[in-house]
Amino acid sequence: MTQATGKGSAEGGVDLWIGGARVPPSTGQYFIDRNPENDQPFARIAEASAADIDRAVQAAQTAFDENRNRLAADREAWLSKAAGLFEKYRDDFVNILVDEVGSPFGKAHFEVQYAINCLRAAAGVARRVTGQTIPSDTPGRFSMSVREPLGVIASISPFNVPLLKNVKLSSTPLATGNTVVLLTSEEAPMVANRLADLYHEAGVPAGAFNVITGFGDKIGDALTTHPLVKVVMFTGSSRIGKHIAGLCGPLMRRVVLELGGKNPMVVLADADLDAAVEAAAFSQFFFQGQACMASSRIFVERSVEAEFCRRYQAKAESLGMGDLRDPNTWVGPIISERQRQRVRRHIEDAKAKGAKVLTGGDWIGNRCRPTILTGVTEAMTVCREETFGPVTSVYPIADFEEAVARANDTNFGLSAAIFTRDITKALQFTQRVRTGMVHINAPTIADEPHVPFGGIGDSGFGREGTDIDIDTFTEWKWITVQLPVS
């Protein structure tokens, strides 16, 4: 059995994880997973086919049939042990995140800690899958409702926070008695394979968690439309999310879509500018801007715009771009050449059409320097489209009313933030901004395992989070017992 230990190499190959064992792909083909820092081979990974998707789903269905009546205490034990194993293997996962996806040290540790917290939160869910007793209008009728697990959950995860999402999209399905087939990003397969090893060691039954590696454009539809799949969880681009929704709609299949964002941060004249600058830097340059919640539109009242930009520029230029294992490094490499070209195209288009580059815009190897644009207009691609890189635009606004209007002028609706000392305006903003999440005097980037995480419009459909997941991954059943009427 080939073990996915996180020690990637171009020799050998990491096989699929199906039914609790490593199995070679039916294609006999493998692809190279590359380190984005230098594009050198990191691992040789199995390339799955639609036939492998079917094998994984069938294994998950078998595991569901065998384990659906396991005690909540069993599921709680698997997930609690998994959390403890993450503590033990923390460095393994940090190293994979650094070398496979170019995560800076701090971001990698954040993901590992989030995974631990998520597993512990999910372990608590196992005992909260409860029903109700219901008053009945029929004499002698005892009426109750129960929740039942659904079956096979298809989880499709991204490259940018692969450990966070792999755990988030698997732990609560397992806690609620379901089984999982995970199709991981082709740019982060070793993270998922190492997670499979950890779940196996934690006692998760064979077939309850399966990992498929390959290319989503070739095999994704085979998973999302498989007759045995009951729910599709997808994190990725709005374009692919809409495609998945179109496939699942006619099948009457539940979907949860966590998609892109063009997130607004509003800075009013009375704001704490130092706090706003720190939040803007974190929100946009964390993991080199490869985040759906990044603050790519910053609206600043004119009276403080110049000072905000001066401080923001200084902050951006101070961010570390050294060794990824140095805690002071903020900005690492962009994941792939395709994505690098997208970032370059957005910057060059803005410059060609008259935008001013306040700072950045140039590259060190595969890393783009933190980039701040001003003078961005509707004619520029970066104005409307998600860049998914360390590029943001600062726009002057006249007042609070313009801030609300500009914040809502987008098809996206994931996260928003406002900086002000006026609590009335802050709370009005939370009510009027059309996003799934909004933060006062805090960054647009925020996530916790138990909160209802998600957006509206082109940013997605449904919510993730251990509490709301109980509704997503279980089905209500009404049961009555007719008793004699005395």
**DSSP string for residues in 344-398:** HHHHHHHHHTT-EEEE---EETTEEPPEEEES--TTSHHHHS---SSEEEEEEES
Give the pTM: 0.95
Query: What is the pairing mode between strands 141-149 and 474-482?
Result: antiparallel
Domains and CATH numbers, the chain: 16-259+455-478 (3.40.605.10), 264-440 (3.40.309.10)
What's the pLDDT score for residue 12?
75
**DSSP string for residues in 194-251:** HHHHHHHHHTPPTTSEEEE-S-HHHHHHHHHT-TTEEEEEEES-HHHHHHHHHHHTTT
Structure tokens at 433: 């901004």
Calpha distance 315→359 (Å, rounded): 10
The residue assigned the tokens 């049939």 is 65
What's the pLDDT score for residue 333?
98
The answer to whether 204 and 174 are in contact (CB under 8 A) is yes
Q: Taking the CA atoms of 456, 457, 462 and 464 in sequence, report the sign of the dihedral they define.
A: negative
Query: What is the pairing mode between strands 356-359 and 371-374?
Result: antiparallel
Calpha distance 187→101 (Å, rounded): 7
**DSSP string for residues in 422-453:** -HHHHHHHHHHS-SSEEEESS-S----TTS-B
The residue assigned the tokens 């989030």 is 114
Structure tokens at 180: 């999982």
The residue assigned the tokens 């607004």 is 264
Q: Which residues are designated catalytic?
A: 258, 292
Structure tokens at 251: 């099948």
What's the pLDDT score for residue 486?
77
What's the pLDDT score for residue 11?
53
In the chain, which stretches have pLDDT less than 50?
Answer: 1-10
Tell me the three state secondary structure of residue 256.
strand
Calpha distance 35→8 (Å, rounded): 10
Calpha distance 352→132 (Å, rounded): 63
